[in-house]
Amino acid sequence: MIGRAIMKGAMAIYCAIVYRIKVEGLENLPKEGNTIICSNHVHLLDSVSLVIKFKTKRMIRIMAKEELFNTKLKAMIFYEAGAFPVKRGKGDTEAMELAKKYINEGEMLMIFPEGTRNGFDKGVKIKKGAAVLALSTNSVIVPVGIKGNYKPFTKIRIRIGKPMTLENYTVGEELNPREIVDLTNKIKDEILNLRDGE
């Protein structure tokens, strides 16, 4: 935890110097309860800037592609940042179970449902993992829209939406495939509205 605090402090200074980050909607972050943060993916520093700017006392765990852990140094950095690897496109059961464990222990989970940078703009089909995890753990979903390109000294806007609750869905281990698709599409719509809205 000490290493994470030092890293977080160093990255906070870096981001403050290099970028002009504006955050809206911090009041929408739950202080307790099962929570999944779903954001669009613009840059490698998305997760870092979100963790820094959210200013929450809760631990945030980040699902990240396994390729980011391919050296000892990178693995150490990402683990210290709260990230854990997931195998993309392979139905990584182990990563999904670990994610559920973190959620049930009261930690927040961060997922980028596009599965790649700028996936929405590329026409990439949004991944269903966030919806599956939310429904299986009865978690609220906090949508986040990031606008900006992370070029030095440019503006980056982060908008945090109101938590999406699951009253109209079946939660638990026996999930409805149609509800998974419906929730996945709603997550996408909320993220895009936050990213593109004024």
Beta strands in the chain (DSSP E): 20-24, 35-39, 60-65, 83-86, 108-111, 140-147, 155-160
Between CA 188 and CA 145 the distance in angstroms is: 10
Q: Sketch the domain layout of the chain as residue ranges.
A: 2-196
Chain segment 124-176, per-residue pLDDT in tens: 889 999 999 999 999 999 999 999 999 999 999 999 999 999 999 999 988 99
Distance of CA 86 to the CA centre of its chain: 13
User: What would you measure as the largest C-alpha separation in the chain, in angstroms?
Assistant: 48
Chain segment 3-39, per-residue pLDDT in tens: 677 878 888 898 999 999 999 999 999 999 999 999 9
The residue with tokens 């981001």 is 15
Instruction: Name the residue among 127, 118, 123, 143 with its Cα closest to residue 35.
Output: 143
Domain 2-196 belongs in CATH node 3.40.50.150: no
Between CA 148 and CA 20 the distance in angstroms is: 10
Torsion of Cα atoms, 160 then 184 then 34 then 142, to 10°: 0
Q: Say if CB 37 and CB 144 are below 8 A apart.
A: yes
